[in-house]
């Protein structure tokens, strides 16, 4: 039986600020990536979100980002690879502790925002990230953009990884995502996102901006919780996947 993981960024509030639709979306995904307090999240938000995931019995991942609350971790930072290593240690440590305090196991690590995008293209940066993950727990699964340097770096040190694909973003023929700043880089129509998702999951292929069809491994599909369409999208997707007898479950589960 075929299977796919659906993951969603969660716990991205801070203090009184709330964002996303965690309570609604979390029921339809099989894993969540929780912000660790530097680009979003605070100790109370993290605890609440881990508890929410535990109640739904889905996999919990750390979602480390740059220390930039005002920019929500979406601005690039120049850091040495040693600094990156420590930045990752810090944030995974936070999430391991909240998992431990609620008697669950941290399942994966997915870098956030600018860090995710930079790692996708930078082998040395990716090596710093995967080394930090391995030093803390070699069973943690790295979630990275399919075909990216982050996946390559994880593979290099035999760290488990999951190739992530996107339903609502337009791909370039080299497997990278078209930048959000370019008009038309995000599918507005639900039906387009659904079609891209299903083609990725069932065929491992995606039609790129230039019309070319490329092959991408698809272990996990990202649901953007801050997208207004996220809720209807994920509900419909689950129904279609059920019709196709495709199992939705965390990466690595049996």
Site residues (vs a second copy, CB under 8 A): 13-17, 19, 37, 42-44, 46-47, 67-72, 75-79, 82-83, 86-87, 89-90, 92-98, 100-101, 132, 135-136
3 state SS of 185: coil
C-beta of 171: minimal distance to a second copy in Å?
23
C-beta of 18: minimal distance to a second copy in Å?
8
C-beta of 47: minimal distance to a second copy in Å?
4
C-beta of 136: minimal distance to a second copy in Å?
6
Quote the CA–CA distance of 150 and 154 in Å, as a whole number: 6
Quote the CA–CA distance of 45 and 62 in Å, as a whole number: 13
Name the token pair of 221: 């599909």
Q: Check the CA dihedral 94-97-98-104 and report its sign.
A: positive
In which residue are the tokens 């996303």 written?
20
Residue (of 147, 57, 140) closest to 93 by Cα position: 140
Specify the residue, 137 or 155, whose C-beta has the smaller distance to a second copy: 137
Taken as a whole, the chain contains a residue count of 254
Name the token pair of 79: 């850091």
Specify the residue, 141 or 237, whose C-beta has the smaller distance to a second copy: 141
Specify the residue, 80 or 215, whose C-beta has the smaller distance to a second copy: 80
C-beta of 122: minimal distance to a second copy in Å?
16
Specify the residue, 76 or 191, whose C-beta has the smaller distance to a second copy: 76
Q: How far apart are the first and last CA of the chain?
A: 11
In which residue are the tokens 């196991």 written?
105
Quote the CA–CA distance of 111 and 41 in Å, as a whole number: 14
Specify the residue, 42 or 217, whose C-beta has the smaller distance to a second copy: 42
C-beta of 85: minimal distance to a second copy in Å?
8
Specify the residue, 84 or 248, whose C-beta has the smaller distance to a second copy: 84
Residue 83's contacts (CB-CB under 8 Å, 6 or more residues apart) are none
Name the token pair of 200: 């990725």
């Amino acid at each position: 039986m075929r299977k796919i993981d659906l993951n969603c960024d969660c716990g991205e509030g801070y203090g009184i600020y709330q964002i996303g639709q965690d309570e609604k979306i979390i029921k339809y995904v099989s894993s969540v990536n929780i912000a660790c307090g530097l680009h979003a999240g605070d100790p109370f938000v993290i605890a609440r979100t881990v508890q929410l995931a535990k109640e739904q019995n889905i996999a919990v991942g750390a979602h480390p980002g740059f220390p930039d609350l005002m920019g929500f971790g979406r601005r690039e930072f120049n850091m040495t690879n040693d600094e990156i290593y420590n930045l990752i240690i810090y944030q995974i440590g936070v999430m391991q502790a909240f998992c431990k305090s609620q008697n669950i196991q941290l399942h994966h690590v997915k870098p956030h925002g600018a860090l995710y995008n930079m790692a996708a293209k930078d082998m040395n940066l990716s090596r710093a990230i995967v080394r930090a993950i391995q030093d803390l727990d070699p069973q943690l699964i790295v979630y990275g953009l399919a075909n990216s340097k982050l996946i390559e770096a994880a593979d290099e040190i035999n760290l488990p990884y999951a190739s992530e694909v996107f339903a609502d973003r337009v791909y370039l023929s080299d497997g990278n995502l078209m930048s959000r700043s370019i008009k038309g880089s995000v599918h507005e129509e639900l039906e387009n996102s659904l079609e891209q998702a299903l083609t990725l999951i069932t065929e491992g292929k995606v039609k790129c901006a230039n019309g070319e069809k490329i092959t991408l491994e698809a272990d996990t599909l990202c649901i953007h919780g801050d997208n207004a369409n996220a809720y209807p999208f994920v509900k419909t997707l689950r129904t279609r996947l059920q019709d196709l007898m495709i199992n939705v479950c965390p990466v690595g589960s049996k």
